[in-house]
Every structure is written in C-alpha cells, then in structure tokens.
Structure 1
Amino acid sequence: MSDPELVERMRAALPAMLADLETLVTCESPSASLAAVARSAEVVARVGTELLGVAPEYVVIDGRTHLRWRLGDGPTRVLVLGHHDTVWPIGSLATHPFSAVDGVLRGPGCFDMKAGLVMAFHAVAALPSTAGVTLLVTGDEELGSPSSRELIEAEARGCAAALVLEASADGGALKLERKGVSNYEVRIHGRAAHAGLEPERGVNASIEAAHQILAISRLGDADLGTSVTPTLLNSGTTRNTVPAAGSFFVDARVRDLVEQDRVDAAMQALTPVLDGASLEVLGGPNRPPLERKASEDLYLRAGEIAAELGISPLSGTSVGGASDGNFTAGIGTPTLDGLGAVGGGAHADHEHVLVAELAPRTALLAALMIDLLAASVPAGAALMDRS
C-alpha cells in the first residue's frame, strides 16, 4: 500500500472511527469506580476485537481491569500504549453529551484519551502484518497507574519503541519531554489543648504545618524546571482546640532524575520545628522523567513519515504533565508520546477533538509502526540508523 493510499484508507474509515469513538465515550469510565472501569473494559474489548480479529487478554490487578493484545507469535517490537479510564464521574454525559458538530467532537474523555484508543485500533488493523505489536490499554492511568506500572514496564522492556496514544499538546504537537512526578503526604502529630484555657499545653499541628510548607516551597528551582508545590491541607478538629494532627500533600515535578533524587532526599530529611511535634513523610517518586533523548530519534523519523504521507508537518514540545510514557522511557525504551487526538480541553468542560485530524494522524501512526516493524536490527539501533 502506497503512502497516499494509507491516508485515503483512513479517511474512508472515518465514519467507522467516529462510531467507535461514540461507543467508547458513552460508556463512562471514571478511574475511581472499579465497576465502571470493568464495564468500560468490556466495551473497549468488543470494539478492539471487531477491528483486530482477536480478543484481548484481561489482566485484572487489585480489582482493576487492563486489556492486552499480543499480536503474532514472535517477540514484541512495538508497544502501543493507552488507557480507558477518565477523570469524569458517572453522570457526566448528562451535562457533557457526546456530539460531533461542525468538525468538533465533544464528550467526557474524548480527548483524554478515548480518541487515541480508536486511532490505535484502526492503525493496527491497517497494518499488512500485526506480528510484533502489543497493544496495552490500562485502567488506572489517571490515578498514577498504581496497579499497571509493572505491567507497562514489563511489556515495554526490549521493545524498539513505545508509542503512546495520549492526546497531543497544543496545535497537535507531540510530547517529547514530560516532567517526572513525585507525590508526598506529610503527616504532623502534635498535642491537643483548649485554645482558650491552656493553649500553651498544646503542640499546634497547624503551626508546624506552616513551617514545613514554607520549607518545602523553597525546594523548587525554576531555572531547572523543578516545581515543589504543597497542595491539599487538613488540620484540626474544632474551632477552639489546638490542633493535635494535620496533613498536607506535595506535588513535585522535575526534568531529570538528579532533581528528582534531590527533592526526594530533602523531603525524607524533613524534621519538626516545634518541640513535641513529629512528622511522617509518605510517598516518593511516582513517574521518572521522560527526557527528550528517549524521544528524539522517533520524532525525527515520524517527521520524515509525515512528509512522505503529505500531511501537516509535525512539531514537538515539553509538558509538565506525566503519562505512562514516563515509565517506558524510564526503563530505556525509545518512546514517542502525544500521538493521539488533536484538540484540547483535557479534564475540562471544553474537552474536544478535531475530527479532520483523526484520519491523517491515524495514518501517521500506522506508517510509523510499519517502519519500526520493518527494522531488523536490535531494539533502538534502527532508529538512529534511519534518522
């Protein structure tokens, strides 16, 4: 199949893609509901099976349903990665119904990232041979992938590439760098006392929290792209009681592992300021950074393929948000992220997908997989040779 034929084939498939996307979007799948994620997995499995001609394996971990299609009998060369859980609670369709009007498709989770799943299914179905492809669809990405991380890393290990169908950045840009994420909870233990009669006998957890929050906020380094942000805060029980306990959460984002290690060491070394107070620091690094060196070769080749297909030139950018691509890059697998839908408004009322971009971007994904699967040299080396 020539390159123009591939693009035209995807354009011809657009009505089917829109129908599949409506099927996925209208099955609500908030990460917080195991039952909803399980129902969504059944729908995703049905759509995928119809296109790929083979049913997936159900991988249930801690009650959460993930789907895996291992295609062909040989080793996996290309991992295609997505998720079917969303941030939208049950009932969101009542206020954000599925629609496709004037070239703009809307609905909860359409951009992040059910359109990416539909693109993945249609792209894989268009391959002359699917041998060597594994398609993994997880059900807990929006929670930080607590149950699927080991599964993702195991599937990615040794692959020539991991292609992540998260939505694109602004203007359709691919995501060449993602910051690493560390999550912490700081728990503070003080001592209660009557706030009016004998406040001096208490150890005020709110004041201790204030000291710790100020210290933690100074761990960030804007020049290095490091942000360390105290977020949700809780302390105290009643208006007239010295707080005996409190807690707050911390979100840290870093560009490289050196900074992630520095912030983690500083968090673990926190000590109380007030006499009689004590601290517990829970958590740590959640996702390693996706550094540009993991994406560069794939991005260059994808740009060449876009030109060969006659579609719009590609662009790339760095983003602060993390994805499962952080995990694949973290174990050394070349990773290209943001290959999914073009649109905007992830997690927001204006979430949307640009319909006109679905076919060409799906053709790009299929052509990139064909190119990677054709490589016969060891994982990763083909990318440098062909860039």
Structure 2
Amino acid sequence: MLEDLRALVEIESPSRDLDALAASAEAVATVIENRLGGQAVLIVNEGGTHVYWAGGGEPRVLVLGHHDTVFPLGTLARRPFAVADGHATGPGVFDMLGGLVQAVHGLSALGDLSGVEILVSADEEVGSFSSRALIEERARACGAVLVFEGAADGGALKTARKGCGAFQVSIAGRASHAGLEPEAGVNALVEAAHQVLDIAALSRPELGTTVTPTVASAGTLENVVPAEATVVVDVRVESGAEKERVEAAFAALAPHVDGARITVEGSIGRPPMPEAAASELFALATQLMPGIGAAAVGGGSDGNFTAALGVPTLDGLGAVGGGAHADHEYVVIDAMAERAGLAAGLVKAIQHAPRA
C-alpha cells in the first residue's frame, strides 16, 4: 500500500490543472488495473480526467473518491512523500490518496468483484461541477455508496455532513477623487462593509448554520473612491430548510449606499448529508469493526450528492490521520491494513445482501 501511495502522491494533481490531472488519472488507473485487473476508463471533460472501473455484473456498490488535491504544483519539492514515526506524509496523503489506496487493496482481497464500481473524480475539491452528473448516475445504478474520504477524529466514520457552498457578492459603485470630490463617488467599499455585516447576521449556529465572509477586495489607489468591491462567503447548513432560507436571503440582499448596485452569484451546491442515509451501512460497519465511532462533520464531499438522492451512503472510510489541506497532513500507517479490511468486508456484505 505504501508503494502505491507513493506513486500517487509523487504525481501532483492540483484541481483545475488539466495536464496534471490527466497524469494523475493515469497513475490512479494503473494502480487499479495492477491490483484488480480489468481496464479502467479515463473520462476527460472540462473539470479534468475522471477514472471509472467496473467489475462486471449487476451494479451493487459504488466506491467513490477523488484524486485532485488543493496543493499547487511545486508543493512536492518542498514537502516530499516520506515515511517516519508511523506516519506517511506528503501532499494529498490524507485527502484523499490514502483512502483510494486502501479501497483498492481491500477490493484486491476479494475473489469476486462482480457488481463493484469505482469512480475517482478530478474536481471534488472545487465543487464537482463536471463530475456530479456521473456520480449521481452511478450511485442510482449501484444502490449503495462507500466514500473513501479521510476518517474523522479517532478514525470515526462520517455519518452526516453539512451542506456547503459559496457566494460572491459583487458591488458596483462610482469612482471619484477621494480628496477633491469624494461626494461625487459611490463608495463600493463602504457598501461592502454594510453587506459583510448583513451577511454575517445570517448565521444560525444553534441550527448548525454558519455564514462566514472569507475573502474581500476593493479599491485601486488610496486617493480614489473605490468603484468596485467583492465579498466571498462560505456557507454551511444542516437542513434543507436552512439551505432555502440562506439562498433566499442572499437573493434579497439590498444596497445601503445610494447609487450602489449589488450582484450575487453562487449557491449551496452540496446538499446536506443526513444521518439517515448512513444508518444501514454504518450498522454493517459496526458488525465488522465493533466500537468504530460515528461523526457528523462540517465539510462536504461527493457523498452529499449521493445521500441527497436517497442512496445509502457511508463516508469517512479512508485513511486514519489528519491535517487535510495543511502542511502537516499525515496518514497513520498501522491503520491502513485494518481499514482496507473494513472496505473488503463492507463490499462483500453489500454484494450478498438482498437488493432493495
């Protein structure tokens, strides 16, 4: 498993870099073919190169993951793959190349792979806009989804996720000289300040809703009344009702400064993943690994899409470790074989379960 993990980590795969993603997809396909046989299909579109493999027969279970990472090209030179003190480190080891390796090696222990499908997307980190339709299609066909994103703290499985999305609020004002005639301008920065306060007030932490302005920009020079400003906002919700409320509130944002104009783009693209979607598969997991924990988390994954379809979905089956998206990202090596075994056990149980 460490050999295959090194092979994947050492081909950098930042989201939106189509050439890098194509090379990474080839590496993922090679690992799958070497361990499972058959032929992986490379699906190229505007979001990158996705990898699909099928074991034949009636579809029963979709093994779901992604091979894109958040790290720019050159990160590997600064932080190469390494194994030390019981940890494997390097860009993308935890999110989520370690999980892919564990899934493939778990499947390799099964003599029968009929009904098993693997889909590894290339754009999960940036919203899955080019892969969502394919993910949903294969999830419906299979009827059960196992997501190999990194485990929650302590190795817990992820049985619920918040819905998440982003909005950009663009403000158009009018430039003028800040010293000679500031009153002739329409200050987009002042309007942005009002909007930030209005937007932050949309949070309902008691309902699990967070609305967090994260990036802002405005202005050109210190002596020019700014004519443009933008505010980017991260949103997380636990329920469909909150998704509707927040989206409606963004659509209703109104200017405070006379003459300012506001344009809102974005949505809560990943719907919430309710615990009910994971209950059946989590029960199977606890039979195979008694005492394994369950966690509801704020981050989203492609499991949000499949759960929203009503397809049983269990997430967090990937690597035990931590530091996703950070320089200290790591995988606990001693847990890799155990988690591969859990993957094999779940797939086998699903293969032999009556089809709903």
Please report the TM-score for the alignment, with normalisation by the length of structure 1: 0.90
Partner of 1:4: none
The structure 1 residue matched to 2:340, chosen from 355, 358, 362, is 362
Any idea what the Cα deviations from partners look like across 1:192-250, whole Å, max 9, x if unmatched?
A: 11111111111110011111110111000010010001111011111111111111111
Q: Tell me by how many angstroms 1:63 deviates.
A: 5.4
Which residue of 31, 35, 38 maps to 1:54? Answer: 38
Measure how far apart 1:39 and its partner are. Answer: 0.6
In structure 1, the partner of 2:123 is 140
State which drifts further: 149-158 or 323-332: 149-158
Aligned length: 356
User: Which residue of structure 2 aligns with residue 149 of structure 1?
Assistant: 132
Deviation at 1:104, TM superposition (A): 1.1
CA contact (8 A) 2:99 2:149 kept: yes
SS in structure 2 at match of 1:142: helix
Partner of 1:90: 73
**Higher mean C-alpha displacement, 144-153 vs 363-372:** 144-153
Q: What is aligned with 1:20?
A: 4
Which position in structure 2 is the counterpart of 1:6?
A: none
Letter in 1 for 2:310: G
Report what 2:262 is aligned to.
279
- Which segment drifts farther, 60-69 or 261-270? 60-69
Amino acid at match of 2:109: A
2:46 and 2:9 map into 1 onto residues whose CA distance is 24
Task: Provide the residue aligned with 1:108 in structure 2.
Answer: 91
- Tell me what 2:313 maps to: 335
- Alpha-carbon deviations, 1:137-159, whole Å to 9, x = none? 01111111121111111111143
Once the two structures are TM-superposed, the CA of residue 128 in structure 1 deviates from its matched residue by 2.5
The answer (yes or no) to whether the contact 2:273–2:303 under 8 Å persists in 1 is yes
1:237 aligns with 2:220: yes
1:110-129 matches, cutoff 5 A: 110-129=93-112
CA distance in structure 2 between the aligned counterparts of 1:32 and 1:351, rounded to whole angstroms = 21
**Distance in structure 2 (CA, Å) of the matches to 1:98 and 1:275:** 55
2:342 partner letter: L
Structure 2 partner of 1:257: 240
Name the counterpart of 2:23.
39
Q: Amino acid of the residue matched to residue 329 of structure 1?
A: A
Number of the residue aligned with 1:373:
351
* CA distance in 1: counterparts of 2:274 and 2:79, whole angstroms: 35
**Dislocated runs of 4+, deviation >6 Å:** none
For 1:373 and 1:73, the matched residues in 2 are separated by 11
Q: How does 1:134-283 map to 2 (within 5 A)?
A: 134-283=117-266
Structure 2 Cα separation of the partners of residues 248 and 129 of structure 1: 52
Does structure 1 conserve the Cα–Cα contact (< 8 Å) formed by 2:99 and 2:150?
A: yes
Aligned-partner Cα distance in 1 for 2:295–2:96 = 19
The separation in 1 between residues aligned to 2:82 and 2:177, in whole angstroms, is 57
Contact in 1 for aligned 2:94/2:322 (Cα 8 Å): yes
CA contact (8 A) 2:47 2:122 kept: no
Distance 2:245 2:155 in 1: 34
Q: In terms of mean alpha carbon deviation, does 134-143 or 54-63 score higher?
A: 54-63
Q: Write out per-residue CA displacement over residues 111-158 of structure 1, whole angstroms, 9 at most, x where no aligned residue.
A: 111111111111222222111111000111111112111111111114
| Gap runs ≥5 in structure 1 | 1-16, 308-312, 379-387
| Separation of aligned partners in 1, 2:237 and 2:277 | 16
Distance 1:330 1:185 in 2: 25
What's the CA shift for 1:97? 1.4
Structure 1 Cα separation of the partners of residues 317 and 43 of structure 2: 24
Partner of 2:328: 350
Q: Secondary structure at the match of 2:166?
A: strand
Task: State the Cα distance separating 1:375 from its structure 2 match.
Answer: 1.1
Contact map agreement 2:177 2:224 (CA 8 A) in 1: yes
Which of 275, 295, 304 pairs up with 1:317? 295
Q: What is the alpha-carbon root mean square deviation over aligned residues?
A: 1.1
Deviation digits for residues 47-97 of structure 1 (CA, Å, limit 9, x no counterpart): 1111111111111121510010122132x1101001111111111122211
List gaps (5 residues or longer) in structure 2: none
- Match for 1:55: what amino acid? Q
TM-score by length of 2: 0.98
